[in-house]
Amino acid sequence: MHRPRPTAEAARAGVRPVTGVALALVVAAALAHALWNFVLKRARGGAAFMALVAIVAVVLWAPAAAAEWQLRGYRFELVHLWPIAASAAVHTAYFLLLDRGYRYGDLSVVYPLARATGPVLTVIVALVVLGERPGPVALGGALLVVAGAYLLTGNPLRLLSRDRPRGTGFALLTGAAIALYTVIDKIAVSRYLIPPIVFDWSCLAARILLLAPLVAWRDPASFGAAGRADRGAIVLVAILSPLAYILVLSAMVFTPVSLVAPAREMSIVFAALLGAHFLKEREPARRLAAAGAIVLGIVALARG
């Protein structure tokens, strides 16, 4: 169950419930997130797959969204359309990029790099654009992320070269999308106080409007092919993907994003374990160590 939502006045005043509840929500979200990525990696994927996931998720999560709308006394305002539209657009790009990464690369490479890119981009922007000077803990975290990338690739500079691991380019672009939608969604649930399930459901509906016409125009037969080949995977992703993010959004209602964002990166370790054990990906010990270093680095970046 979701913890009762604080009033608008309390939220603006910075009053928050005990963060242990937020930690429990985020750990559960991390596991659900790693699981749906594992399912996506094993599926055939594609734009039609992602469109069907959004359609199924809208149907499955509609009762929960309607119930939360009523119980929370949510009042829709026109200004709420911009974070919904923006988040839907960025999430559409995120899912398509992530799917392409998995068609080319391993789960234990693509997933950690995608999850690590956002925090690293934040540090670069802070240094170059904002003129900030991160403390030693944050800089140490950045070095840990680089060390994790080194363990994954053999050399971080390979990420920008032609002989980089397969799927790396898509992973880096996915990470940039993660950084962008995290900021948008934090504004939606904490500033505009849009209930998390209502917000995520609205974004799912908007993603259908973006994806379905594109797929129908380019290859309408792909809907049927994806439905036949990946029916079970579509349903699982439709359940786990919204669940993972709704849990994170619920935590962000009453917890700073600087605490929520790094904690959810525990999913990197879960994904590395799934890739090593079930997908039999190469060099599991090295990739798990790299995932651990990246998680510690992200935590240090957030705390520093």
**What local confidence, expressed as pLDDT, does residue 252 receive?**
80
The more confidently predicted of residues 195 and 265 is 195
280 in Cβ contact with 42 (< 8 Å): no
31 in Cβ contact with 263 (< 8 Å): no
Residue in 111, 116, 115 with CA at minimum distance from that of residue 165: 111
- Which two structure tokens, joined as six digits, stand for 10? 């309390």
Could you tell me what percent of the chain has a pLDDT over 90? Answer: 44
- Which two structure tokens, joined as six digits, stand for 238? 């439709």
**What local confidence, expressed as pLDDT, does residue 3 receive?**
44
Mean per-residue pLDDT of the chain: 83
Is pTM beyond 0.85 here?
no
**Helix, strand, coil percent content, the chain, rounded in steps of 5:** 80, 0, 20
pLDDT category at 200 given cuts 50, 70, 90 is: very high
Region 156-180: mean pLDDT is 75
Region 27-52: mean pLDDT is 94
**What local confidence, expressed as pLDDT, does residue 67 receive?**
97
pLDDT category at 239 given cuts 50, 70, 90 is: very high
Query: Is residue 73's pLDDT more than 60?
Result: yes
Residue in 289, 267, 291 with CA at minimum distance from that of residue 34: 267
pLDDT category at 203 given cuts 50, 70, 90 is: very high
Q: What whole-number distance in Å separates Cα of residue 118 and Cα of residue 177?
A: 8
**What local confidence, expressed as pLDDT, does residue 93 receive?**
96
Region 106-118: mean pLDDT is 83
**What local confidence, expressed as pLDDT, does residue 123 receive?**
63
In the chain, domain spans? 18-303
Region 43-69: mean pLDDT is 96
Residue in 28, 57, 101 with CA at minimum distance from that of residue 203: 57
Q: What whole-number distance in Å separates Cα of residue 238 and Cα of residue 57?
A: 5
> Tokens 């026109």 appear where?
78
If you average pLDDT over each of 122-131, 198-207, 247-256, which comes out highest?
198-207
pLDDT tens digits, residue range 140-152? 777 787 677 667 6
**What local confidence, expressed as pLDDT, does residue 145 receive?**
77
Which residues have a Cβ under 8 Å from the Cβ of 8 and sit 6 or more positions away? 193
Query: Is residue 174's pLDDT more than 90?
Result: yes
What single-letter amino acid sits at 117? T
